[in-house]
Structure 1
């Protein structure tokens, strides 16, 4: 995906994104008031004051740091570096609907993944061995089902979920609390590079922005806003994962939690979520089934976007079809199916896939109109 704007407009975006005290909501207001990002930058001090722009931001806009802006543009000019802005059709639909959406996203990797049907997997930075294993198992199965695993690149559950998706050859998306050119925590440097190569690193913070405590809740709202649902694997009662879950619920998204031992302090956050209305889940297919209708709506929004753009294909993912078209596991399953109904254990023998993985895959194929199911048996849908 090329830069969505000419260099002058990118420069205007960077000037306003770096202006102190101009957050995403205020910048979106300026876009509406002045008609475009160039109009907002060219409006001048009197118009800026009338629009409520803080004095510190006006001082910056009158004499921005040209060297800093040039460095930002140099970062954007590198391969697989992108700026996805609020006024672009490429801005992800789900995030646009979320409260307090950022005005722009910096992406290192594949920006098309922003439109993919996503499941956030979050939890403790210091999980139990069982929690880490659950994160890996759910991530693998959900990734194979066609959902994109999204998390925050933190140690613990986040890193386990990202690695598991990559291990099964699927992309993953990491939303971070620094500039896209930095890695926090540094121990995840190699993981971050792998995600940028095979998925996407996403942030609202310009290049060079270091980690600060107040950045992490802002990162969490993006994780929640991009995702159809959020799965909390393990979390203490005071946990950033619970913030992500709350933000997901406030955005009208699904929240899932894994139950645990009453003696495990890292299960207490999940138990509170369940008491507050989160769905208790014990297997990945339960999540796939709950999210499938929402994924279909996202697919419809993507088709509308492509139609509006006058294009049949832009390389964007169709959340239901793309995995089924190209994934070798789906091809093997399609070959194993016939027009005569067959039990899932027979399909497991024919394909070598687990029953759990097959259950998720068959559900998506059924929702997409490719498979019919009756009495626990599956067949290709007759055309």
Structure 2
């Protein structure tokens, strides 16, 4: 199957047979994986073994039936170029998403799956924003993408679409869909979705053929927040679905940001409510970069002792990172000069600088200049 990797490459059929069996959602799949280890063992289990794990009888019936007609469309979809299946046991499964409650066991992807491992910020908001809201979403996304963040959103009308479009102008974006990857919703975003598939990444937990259903979108929202270090709400009413994403982000231990607006604007009331509840008020993209530094370090290395050893140190990274570190002097240097010194692309340099800054190895100065911190030079001097 084209693009499938890890466990999914060895046996995508078993994963699909379990994951798409009627009545087996993320929680039951996780329970089964915890007990049996891999999907084929689940399919080989007896009714008694499955019942002892608390799996409902209708779901057991579906597992035992092993109805391959349910997975035919998915297998055909996977034969197409750049179509990929990522499974929960795959080493390339996003670390942050794996940490949430009931992570999706299957991810259907179109595009550059490496973006899943880039620092992400979710940008969400109203489907009926003001002109100012659209402009803010576009410009925040463009600026943060240019700084190295991958902007994650839900491909919806309004703020989501503006965030995706702005991110594509500055860097990269991930669109998390509430449908199968072969069903673009809303239809007005078909061109945008194709552009994202070509230049960035489309993600969904729903198999091909899944239409837009109201119950799909809260599930989509948990993936949006789960992939990201934090969520920025640009505009939202008090009844907006964006507040669900913000709540999920908070429950997942991520940061929540909100842009304030006029007290006379109904689309600002959701943001104001979030700020009263503890969300960080932001006025610029730099506000977000500064807030996410400590969170990035905590989420990436919560208790991993290996992360504090020299083996995991910055100088042990791939050649591109070593080249960039060596190009950074003790005095501030511009991004353009770093591109010239390293031969790397502007997008690669920006992304790596952001990661190094979030980890405390590099500091930024006004005018787009960067230099090593004492932490980095003291570790590797002499």
Do they superpose with TM above 0.5? yes
Q: How many residues align?
A: 349
The change in CA–CA distance for 1:16 and 1:285 in structure 2 (over 3 A counts) is same
User: Which residue number in structure 2 is paired with residue 153 of structure 1?
Assistant: 155
CA contact (8 A) 2:293 2:357 kept: no
CA contact (8 A) 1:132 1:160 kept: yes
CA contact (8 A) 1:175 1:202 kept: yes
User: Which residue number in structure 1 is paired with residue 24 of structure 2?
Assistant: 22
User: Which residue number in structure 2 is paired with residue 73 of structure 1?
Assistant: 75
The change in CA–CA distance for 1:187 and 1:6 in structure 2 (over 3 A counts) is closer
Q: Does 1:290 align with 2:291?
A: yes
The change in CA–CA distance for 1:6 and 1:130 in structure 2 (over 3 A counts) is closer
Distance in 2 of aligned mates of 1:363 and 1:25: 33
Q: Does 1:369 align with 2:371?
A: no
Distance in 2 of aligned mates of 1:28 and 1:12: 15
The change in CA–CA distance for 1:142 and 1:77 in structure 2 (over 3 A counts) is same
Distance in 2 of aligned mates of 1:330 and 1:228: 26
Q: Does 1:165 align with 2:135?
A: no
Distance in 1 of aligned mates of 2:9 and 2:26: 21
Distance in 1 of aligned mates of 2:83 and 2:60: 29
Distance in 1 of aligned mates of 2:96 and 2:280: 21
1:362 Cα deviation after fit? 8.4
Gap regions ≥5 residues in structure 2: 342-349
Distance in 2 of aligned mates of 1:88 and 1:370: 32
The change in CA–CA distance for 1:372 and 1:264 in structure 2 (over 3 A counts) is closer
Of 15-24 and 150-159, the range deviating more from structure 2: 15-24
Counterparts of 1:115-130 in structure 2, within 5 Å, are 115-130=117-132
User: Which residue number in structure 1 is paired with residue 346 of structure 2?
Assistant: none
The change in CA–CA distance for 1:72 and 1:272 in structure 2 (over 3 A counts) is same
Helix, strand or coil at the partner of 2:296: helix
Helix, strand or coil at the partner of 1:205: coil
Helix, strand or coil at the partner of 1:5: helix
User: Which residue number in structure 1 is paired with residue 243 of structure 2?
Assistant: 242
RMSD: 3.5
Distance in 1 of aligned mates of 2:298 and 2:233: 24
1:23 Cα deviation after fit? 1.1
Helix, strand or coil at the partner of 2:246: helix
Q: Does 1:198 align with 2:199?
A: yes
Distance in 1 of aligned mates of 2:36 and 2:354: 50
Gap regions ≥5 residues in structure 1: 338-357
Q: Does 1:332 align with 2:336?
A: yes
1:369 Cα deviation after fit? 3.0
